[in-house]
Amino acid sequence: MRDRKFLLLFFLLLPGIHVPGQAFLILESSGRVKPRKYPVGSQIRVHFKGEAGSAWDTYTIKGFDLPAQCIIVSDTYCLPIRDLDGFDVSPGSRGALARTMRKFFIQWSFFSLAQYVFKPPLYPFHFAVAGGTALVWLYSSLFLKGEKKLNARHRLRLIDLSLPQPRA
């Protein structure tokens, strides 16, 4: 009974609640319908134009300056989008598939070795699983990088999803 009163009150007051808009950094890729969104608080890894041999820098998004088209990463520093040359899609989970496959390959190999010692016949299935896992591990560690070069195929934009003020 008490929960129903709360829900009734909540839905009666819901139209009066003002929902502020949000700004996002989005990565648009050709061939993808849905862009990747990065809200305030996300970690990003970027590479700057004109620094071919330099390292990638990791920042946490503090906010956005929409008129200047830059990403605020500290109280005194803002990253202009036009100065960025590369963007890492997933800085936090870099190499996650490679790590998972490496662990599985080691565990499976140990399991197969133990089975060979205690119960000698190994079947082609054991070798197929180990070989497939090793191939996925090598492929993911060598070729799957989250680093994208910003060009006509991949571009960064800042968007503001502000809602109009409700009329009283």
Quote the pTM value.
Answer: 0.59
Q: Give residue-wise pLDDT tens across range 13-66.
A: 655 544 445 788 888 888 888 888 888 888 888 888 877 777 778 888 888 888
Q: Are 78 and 68 in contact (CB under 8 A)?
A: yes
Helix (H) or strand (E) holding 80: strand 78-80
Q: What is the DSSP string of 59-87?
A: EE--EEETTTTEEE-SSS-EEEGGGEEEE
Residue with the bigger pLDDT between 133 and 5: it is 133
Q: Give the percent of the chain with pLDDT over 70.
A: 84
* Domain boundaries along the sequence of the chain: 20-93+146-161, 96-142
d(CA 55, CA 11): 51
Q: Give residue-wise pLDDT tens across range 119-140.
A: 878 888 888 998 999 898 888 8
What's the confidence (pLDDT) of residue 107? 92
Written as six digits, the tokens of 131 are 């070989």
Q: Give the percent of the chain with pLDDT over 90.
A: 4
Query: Vertex 64, ends 60 and 69: CA angle to 5°?
Result: 120
Q: Is the pLDDT of residue 104 over 70?
A: yes
